[in-house]
Structure 1
Amino acid sequence: MDEAFWHRRWAQNEIGFHLREVNPLLRRHWPGLQLAVGTKVLVPLCGKSLDLVWLVEQGFEVLGVELSEKAVEDFFVEQNLPVQVEHRSGFKIYRSGVLEVHCGDFFALTAEDVAGCEGLYDRAALIALPASMRQRYTEHLSSILASGCTGLLVVLDYEQAQMEGPPFAVSDAEIQASLGDGWDISLLERASALDDKFLQRGLR
């Protein structure tokens, strides 16, 4: 899986992973993190998620990161947000108030780019990556975020052989192995998520 895969998905509007509403798990569990209003939140591989707007509406400063320029452009048009654009450190940066989206390669992010981020929200990043890339993702994430960061991670777990990702299966054991050393991990909720689109792809 490479950058061309995701550019093609967005160009062909093959974005079944995009939710047309704010993620219910975000609404339900984010308040429990007890992050102070004004905290800066990193949202990797954010697409054009409505979750960005919700986080801003709750009083947070938001830094999204997205590879696809089409996704970012669509987001600001669809949300009717005024935007300023600049180029810095290899990223095309879109800014609207306390919301910034850095368009470019997540793995090119530095600690300086995410300085001040004390919150993390990952709903579609880890599960978007095959196993060969997930370890690199978690290592990079942990290396650029300051210690003490608090976040919400949403994943799917299923028999990977039953369905070709993305979204990919990520088990509890993998999360503990990849993040357990640097993060204090707590399971907040486990629920069945077998909607029609997964059933149609053969998942049971």
Structure 2
Amino acid sequence: MQPEFWQQRWREQRIGFHQDHPTALMLKHWPMLDVAPGAQVFVPLAGKSLDMVWLASQGHRVLGVELSQLAVEQFFDENQLSPVIRETKYGRHYVAGLIDLVCGDAFGLDADVLRDCMGVFDRAALVALPADLRQRYAREVYANLPHGCHGLLVTLEYPQHEKDGPPFSVDDAEVHALYAREWAIDLLERERIVPGGPRFEEGLSRLEMAAYGVRRY
């Protein structure tokens, strides 16, 4: 899956993954995670997520990364924020208040830029990647987060043969296979999405959403 795939999705506004509200599972479970007030929180494949606004409202410094410049610009326009823009080796940084949103590739980030991220919120990144890139993502991106980092990982589970991702199905066994060597993993909630409901996708026989608390050893 090449970057152009996501650029095209944003140009055509085929962004069904975008929510016009903060993630309910985050609102419920984030306060129980041991992420210190004021800590920097990493939000990968951030799009124009309102989760970043909520995290900043809790006093966190936010470091997001997003490939699409259109998504980045829409985020600041729609939230009536006027960012200061600067260039670094990681991409173009748009900074407003507590939010630093990098227009760049998550795989281009390194331990230097992520060293202060003592929190991570991943709702739309892991499930957006096919299996081979999920392995690389865990091996390269999560590996650059510091020891002691706490976070919330949200996944979807459904019979993969019933739908072409993204979003992809990532079950409990895969979450542990990807992360258990470096991260403590705690299943916080598994929510069954009711068929016919507004969040259920046609063509699926089953859809569940899972939330995991994670902590790097």
Q: TM-score range by the shorter chain?
A: over 0.9
1:61 and 2:77 equivalent? Answer: no
Partner of 1:145: 145
**Cα distance, 1:35 vs. partner?**
1.6
Partner of 2:159: 159
Partner secondary structure for residue 199 of structure 1: coil
**Cα distance, 1:119 vs. partner?**
0.3
Count of residue correspondences: 203
Normalization by structure 2: what TM-score? 0.91
Distance 1:149 1:183 in 2: 9
Partner of 1:9: 9
RMSD (CA atoms): 1.1
The residue type paired with residue 123 of structure 1 is R
**Cα distance, 1:197 vs. partner?**
5.8
Q: Deviations over 1:117-176 (max 9, x none)?
A: 100000000000011210000111232111111010000011100111111000100010
The residue type paired with residue 155 of structure 2 is V
Percent sequence identity is: 47
Partner of 1:71: 71
Partner secondary structure for residue 154 of structure 1: strand
Judge conservation of contact 2:35–2:151 (CA < 8 Å) in 1: no
Partner of 2:120: 120
Partner of 1:203: 204
Which residues in structure 2 correspond to 1:1-204 (within 5 Å)? 1-194=1-194, 195-196=197-198, 198-200=200-202, 202-204=203-205
**Cα distance, 1:19 vs. partner?**
0.5
Normalization by structure 1: what TM-score? 0.96
Runs of at least 5 residues in structure 1 that lack an aligned partner in the other structure: none
Distance 1:139 1:181, change over 3 A: same
Runs of at least 5 residues in structure 2 that lack an aligned partner in the other structure: 206-217
**Cα distance, 1:114 vs. partner?**
1.3
Deviates more, 1:133-142 or 1:71-80: 133-142
Q: Deviations over 1:57-116 (max 9, x none)?
A: 011110001011100000000000121001101400000011100111110101111121
